[in-house]
Amino acid sequence: MSQRTEVRRAIEVERQAIDVRQAIGVVVSNDWVNDRYKHMTVCVPGLAQVSQPGQFFHLLCGVASAGPLLRRPMSVYKMDPLRNEIHFLYHVKGEGTQLLAQRQGGDPLDLVGPLGQGFTLNSRWHRVLVVARGVGMATLAPLVAVARRREMAVDVILSARTPRDILGAREFAAMGAHVFPVTDEDGSSDLATLQSRVEALVDQGQTDALFTCGSARLTRMLRDVAIRRGLPGQVAVEEHMACGIGMCQGCTRVFRRDGKDVHLRVCQEGPVFPLEEVVYP
Ligand SMILES: Cc1cc2nc3c(=O)[nH]c(=O)nc-3n(C[C@H](O)[C@H](O)[C@H](O)COP(=O)(O)OP(=O)(O)OC[C@H]3O[C@@H](n4cnc5c(N)ncnc54)[C@H](O)[C@@H]3O)c2cc1C
């Protein structure tokens, strides 16, 4: 076999393994939930049924010819298989999300996904503790929904700058989760206070696992608590990414796996990783 044929075959195998799904959805609604975050619902047949909590879509926020060139990754906030709808909750921040914020009902949206490895819930667990910072709650929301459907007890700590930035408290309470909002404004989100609260919840509630997203500081604290208490944990990691399908390696980070430093792609091996594997300088 010639070298060129071998290369072509390797590319074909890689393409089959990736199974990328690109679709053009239709925006159903795109509404402000407060002065910084928007909630977008997109109708796109067949994708809500196969999306898992913790997975994400890579969204083309502008127009391909006008940029921005790079798609922006957004977690699945809710999936509604009966209506063929995927929901996103996003912080309107820079060029990409500002363009996304301009979409109106009826507009098309080009999306690729669902991508990455989502959260796993062990059927032996009875109680889980979820700690979200800011818009990290969007990534954790479908996990809470699935855990509650499986009748697990769920404690949710929602941390944000101000009470106005606390999202999802009512929604999680309606699912039957125990919700603990904490804010920078009143000092209740301070790391030491939060650590005591986490440890108290772990002690009282017989927590089986910890989940987090949205803050490196919180992740580090939870990783240390998880290691000290011998608890499993998972974190959804955020990293700038270009292709989102593992080819460009742009989102590679160092993780600590089996006692060794390993380079893993957030888009492909993640974005959800075991808590004990995260490494911060
Ligand atoms: C797996 C995953 C899930 C996420 N889920 C959510 C969510 O549910 N809700 C939410 O609000 N946020 C989420 N984020 C964060 C979100 O993707 C960023 O806030 C968003 O990409 C910001 O884009 P922007 O252009 O508005 O911001 P900007 O802050 O303006 O971008 C800053 C700079 O970074 C560069 N940049 C931006 N994106 C990329 C990229 N992908 N690769 C390389 N450079 C880049 C831009 O060119 C710009 O110069 C998620 C991130 C990841 C990795």
Residue 242 CB–ligand 1 contact under 6 Å:
yes
Asked whether residue 103 falls in the same domain as residue 12, the answer is yes
- Counting from 1 in the atom list of ligand 1, the atom nearest the Cα of 88 is 8
Cα–Cα distance between 199 and 180 in angstroms, integer? 14
Q: Which residues contact 31 (CB under 8 A, 6 or more apart)?
A: 38, 39
How many Å lie between the centroid of ligand 1 and the Cα of residue 241? 8
Domain shared by 157 and 75, yes or no: no
106 shares its domain with 135: no
Query: What per-residue confidence (pLDDT) applies to 3?
Result: 53
Smallest CA separation from ligand 1 atom 36, residue: 240
57 Cβ below 6 A of ligand 1: no
Identify the residue whose tokens are 């855990």.
Answer: 147
How high is the mean pLDDT of the chain?
A: 91
pLDDT of residue 21: 85
CA of 74 to the centre of ligand 1 (A): 8
Q: Per residue in 62-79, pLDDT tens? A: 876 777 889 999 999 999
pLDDT in tens, 78-91: 999 999 999 999 99
Question: Do 61 and 158 share a domain, yes or no?
Answer: no
Domain end position, chosen among 60, 89, 115? 115
Asked whether residue 140 is domain-assigned, the answer is yes
pLDDT digits (tens, 9 = 90+) for 242-271: 999 999 999 999 999 999 999 999 999 999
Atom 11 in ligand 1: residue holding the nearest Cα: 90
Q: Does the pLDDT of residue 33 top 80, yes or no?
A: yes
Please tell me whether residues 26 and 56 are part of one structural domain.
Answer: yes
Tell me, what's the pLDDT at 255? Answer: 96
Residue located nearest, by CA, to atom 17 of ligand 1: 73
The per-residue DSSP string of 208-265 comes to: -EEEEES-HHHHHHHHHHHHHHT--EEEE-----SSSSSSS-TTEEEEEETTEEEEEE
What is the CA(224)–ligand 1 centre distance, in A? Answer: 27
Domain span at residue 227 reads 127-235
Kindly state whether residues 51 and 154 are assigned to the same domain.
no
Quick check: is 23 in a domain?
Answer: yes
Cα(185)–Cα(169) distance, rounded to whole angstroms? 17
Residue 189 beta carbon below 6 angstroms from any ligand 1 atom? no
Domain shared by 207 and 103, yes or no: no
| Residue 213 confidence (pLDDT) above 50 | yes
